[in-house]
Amino acid sequence: IFIEILDINDNIPTFKEHSIKIEMAESTPPSTRFQLLPAHDDDVGSNSRLKYSLSSTSDDNLYLTTTKHFDRETIDRYDLEVIVSDNGTPRLSSTLQVEIRILDINDNPPVFYNDTYRFYVLENTTIGALIGRISAYDLDDGVNSNITYKLLHLNIIGNALRTVNSNIISIDAVNGDVLLESVLDYESDKYYHYTVEASDCGVPTLSAYTQVSILVQDSNDNFPHISL
Binding site for Ca ion (CB under 5 A): 9, 11, 41, 43, 47, 71-73, 86, 88, 104-108, 138, 140, 144, 200
Q: How far is the CB of 187 from Ca ion (least distance, A)?
A: 44
Tell how far CA 144 is from the center of its chain.
5
Query: Between residues 26 and 123, which has the closer beta carbon with respect to Ca ion?
Result: 26
Q: How far is the CB of 128 from Ca ion (least distance, A)?
A: 32
Q: How far is the CB of 114 from Ca ion (least distance, A)?
A: 19
Q: How far is the CB of 92 from Ca ion (least distance, A)?
A: 5
Q: Please enumerate in sequence order all residues whose Cβ is within 8 A of that of 207, keeping only pairs 6 or more positions apart, or say none.
A: 109, 110, 197, 198, 199, 200
Query: Between residues 141 and 189, which has the closer beta carbon with respect to Ca ion?
Result: 141
Q: How far is the CB of 41 from Ca ion (least distance, A)?
A: 4
3-state secondary structure the chain: CCCCCCCCCCCCCECCCCEEEEEEECCCCCCCEEEECCCECCCCHHHHCCEEECCEECCCCEEEECCCCCCCCCCCEEEEEEEEECCCCCCCEEEEEEEEEEECCCCCCCEECCCEEEEEEECCCCCCCEEEECCEECCCCHHHHCEEEEEEEEEEECCCEEECCCCCEEECCCCCEEEECCCCCCCCCCEEEEEEEEEECCCCCCEEEEEEEEEEECCCCCCCCCCC
Q: How far is the CB of 119 from Ca ion (least distance, A)?
A: 26
- How far is Cα 133 from Cα 119, in angstroms, rounded to an integer? 9
Query: Between residues 43 and 123, which has the closer beta carbon with respect to Ca ion?
Result: 43
Query: Between residues 11 and 57, which has the closer beta carbon with respect to Ca ion?
Result: 11
Query: Between residues 122 and 139, which has the closer beta carbon with respect to Ca ion?
Result: 139
Query: Between residues 86 and 189, which has the closer beta carbon with respect to Ca ion?
Result: 86
